Amino acid sequence: MLERLKTGLKTFREVTYKRYEHIYRDLEATQDPHTLFIGCSDSRVSPDILLDSDPGEVFTVRNIANTVPAYENSQNDLPTVSSIEYAIEVLGVEEVVICGHSNCGGCAAAMGQSSKLDKLPFTQQYLKPLACVKEKIEAEPEITDAKAKARLMEKMNVIEQVKHLKSYPIVQEKLKKGELEIEGWYFDIKSGSVSVYDEKADRFCRSEDYQAVRV
Ligand SMILES: [Zn+2]
């Protein structure tokens, strides 16, 4: 085992576990998370660090480019769909966050900005549904810069995945009853800021401003 991992486990056992021991004991037999976080598998997007959350608070699904298949394509990604189903139907989460991020390799690959994809047949197949987002960006004639296109892809991908999530009957039912909230987030790795998609304004706002608007 890598030395770094061994050291981490030792620190967890001797320091971190002790800090959270009361929570682990309370939650030994069950969990009651309030939020489902759907994020990218990217090693820089760590939900517990991002949210400063305690054990038991956040149920997590992570995959390349934080995707959710549309309801009609749900069979294409059962790990993601079953996690969503479980979080909503069994755990009764009150909030779902779909969080994209800057410099997302999955989004870059879907934009055709990565040569690595040629060697990755499974990833190619997996990223196919993102082609519709790419097409929307390519249709914007004023955006020609590759970096600008990449940032837009990452943000529009979040909006698309929120739309997909809302296509599920169980989600629609919970939204209708006011038992669920869905938010699209964008994490900028360089600045550490998170912006939230405001559907009415059709733009991402800084999370601080978004809270102010909602209050
Ligand atoms: Zn990513």
Name all domains of the chain by residue range, CATH numbers in brackets. Answer: 1-29 (no CATH), 31-214 (3.40.1050.10)
| C-alpha 45 – ligand 1 centre gap (Å) | 8
| C-alpha 101 – ligand 1 centre gap (Å) | 6
pLDDT of residue 167: 98
Mean of pLDDT over the chain: 94
| C-alpha 100 – ligand 1 centre gap (Å) | 7
Convert the pLDDT of each residue in 121-156 to its tens digit. 999 999 999 999 999 999 988 888 999 999 999 999
pLDDT of residue 140: 86
Average pLDDT over every residue of 46-63: 97
Q: Which residue has the higher pLDDT, 200 or 159?
A: 159
Q: Which residues contact 189 (CB under 8 A, 6 or more apart)?
A: 44, 101, 102, 103
Least confident of 7-11, 111-115, 131-135, 180-184: 111-115
Start-to-end C-alpha separation, the chain:
49
| C-alpha 167 – ligand 1 centre gap (Å) | 23
| C-alpha 24 – ligand 1 centre gap (Å) | 30
| C-alpha 15 – ligand 1 centre gap (Å) | 31
pLDDT of residue 214: 45
Q: Which pLDDT band, with edges at 50, 70 and 90, does 209 fall under?
A: low
| C-alpha 114 – ligand 1 centre gap (Å) | 13
| C-alpha 37 – ligand 1 centre gap (Å) | 14
Strand order in the sheet with 35-40: 58-63, 35-40, 95-101, 181-187, 194-198, 203-206
Convert the pLDDT of each residue in 34-43 to its tens digit. 999 999 999 9
| C-alpha 28 – ligand 1 centre gap (Å) | 32
Residue position matching structure tokens 């139907």: 89
Per-chain residues with Cβ under 5 A from ion ligand 1: 40, 42, 104, 106
Residue position matching structure tokens 């085992």: 1
Strands annotated E in the chain: 35-40, 58-63, 95-101, 181-187, 194-198, 203-206
